[in-house]
Amino acid sequence: MSVYQTARANMIESQLRPNRVTDERVIAAFARLRRELFVPEHLRGVAYVDEDLPLGPGRYLMEPMVAARLLQSVMPGAKEAALVVGAGIGYEAALLALLMRSVIALEEDEWLARLGRAALVDHRIGSVVYVDGPLAGGHRQRAPYDVILFGGAAAEIPSDIAAQLGEGGRMAAVLRPGQGVGRATLATRTGGVLAQRVIFDAATPLLPGLVPKPAFVF
C-alpha cells in the first residue's frame, strides 16, 4: 500500500467516520479519489490533513470532513445534476460526479480550473464540465439543478444562485455573514419555498466574490 493509500484510509477512518459521515456511497467516493492529484505538487504530502489547504491567493481546498458532511447532506442521486460554486481544483465536483449524472464546475480562477481538469482526466471522469464566470451568478444555462454545493464559505446565498435550484433541490454551503465561525447550512426547495437549517459549525474560508458587503461607516 502506498503512502497516499494509507493516508486516504486514515482520512476515512479518523476524520470522516468519527464525524457522523455514515453514507457509504459518500465514503466510497472519498476512497476512490486520489486527493493528492487535486492539489499543487508541493502540497501532495499534506493532501489528507484535517484542515483547509491553502491553494493560492484567497483560495483553499475544503477540509475533508466538512466536504463529506456537506455532500452527505444533499443526498446526491444517480440521475441528478449538480452545480459546484467555486469548484477550485475540482475535488468536490469529482466526488459528486461519482454519485450523480452530471456536474457543472463553476470557477473563475483559470489556474485552479486547469489543475482540476488535469486531475479529472487522471481519474477518467468525463461528467464534470468546467465553466468560467463570476461565482455569485451561478450558471443559468444549465439550471435548474438538483444539487448546488459551494466549494468554500459565503456570506450569504446569492439570489441568482438560489433561483437556479430546482423544485425538490438541495443546496449546501458554509455561511459566514460576519466575524466568527461559519454555519454549514442545508437549503431545500419545496413548493417554491427555500427553507434553511444549520447542520454544524465550520471555519471554512470565504470564497472570493462571496464575502460580506462592507458596512457603511458614518
Q: What is the pLDDT of residue 216?
A: 54
Residue 218 scores a pLDDT above 90? no
Q: What is the pLDDT of residue 60?
A: 97
Residue 56 scores a pLDDT above 90? no
Least confident residue range of 10-14, 17-21, 157-161, 212-216: 212-216
> How large is the angle between the packed helices 24-32 and 3-11, nearest 10 degrees?
160
Q: What is the pLDDT of residue 215?
A: 60
Question: What average pLDDT does the structure give for the chain?
Answer: 95
C-alpha span between 145 and 83 (Å, rounded):
7
What are the pLDDT digits (tens) for 98-141?
A: 999 999 999 999 999 999 999 999 999 999 999 999 999 999 99
Is 40 exposed, middle or buried, given 0-12, 13-18 or 19+ CB atoms closer than 10 A?
Answer: middle
Average pLDDT rounded to a whole number, residues 72-77:
98
Domains identified in the chain and CATH numbers: 3-202 (3.40.50.150)
Q: Give the residue from 167, 162, 150, 164 showing the smallest Cα distance to 211.
A: 150
Q: What is the pLDDT of residue 147?
A: 98
Q: What is the pLDDT of residue 100?
A: 98
